[in-house]
Amino acid sequence: LAKTTQPISMDSYEGQEVNITCSHNNIATNDYITWYQQFPSQGPRFIIQGYKTKVTNEVASLFIPADRKSSTLSLPRVSLSDTAVYYCLVGDIFMGRRALTFGSGTRLQVQP
């Protein structure tokens, strides 16, 4: 089964850039890499998705090297409200079909 590995937790301060790296050594050729954000007692929320190189949107950037065995979510100038759990997802196999699987995620704590 395809699995992802992320740091369990990270600490940062307001205004800093935060980079969360995810390892996905068994990523399939047609898999995209997707990141979700989850606040306590809320459902996850889509942040960004990419296939290769770099993707940027209004909240984050996603860097994917050529071998695609890892990816890095970059959050510019974090604020206290960015304190959350961040999940990196790639495809997995269920009943012979591909679907997304969430790992344990990275718990980001932003301090003032």
Partner 1 sequence: DSGVTQTPKHLITATGQRVTLRCSPRSGDLSVYWYQQSLDQGLQFLIQYYNGEERAKGNILERFSAQQFPDLHSELNLSSLELGDSALYFCASSVALGLENDEQFFGPGTRLTVL
Binding residues for partner 1, per CB under 8 A?
Answer: 31-32, 34, 41-46, 49, 87, 89-92, 94-95, 97-105
- Residue closer to partner 1, measured from CB, 31 or 82: 31
- Residue closer to partner 1, measured from CB, 16 or 23: 23
- Residue closer to partner 1, measured from CB, 82 or 91: 91
- Residue closer to partner 1, measured from CB, 87 or 110: 87
Shortest distance, CB of residue 52 to partner 1, whole angstroms? 13
Shortest distance, CB of residue 95 to partner 1, whole angstroms? 5
Residues 28, 88, 106, 55, CA torsion sign:
positive
Cβ atoms of residues 4 and 22 within 8 Å = yes
Alpha-helix runs per DSSP H in the chain: none
What SS3 state is found at 53? strand
Shortest distance, CB of residue 56 to partner 1, whole angstroms? 17
**Of residues 8, 33, 16, 37, the one with CA closest to residue 79:** 16
11: which 2 tokens? 């600490």
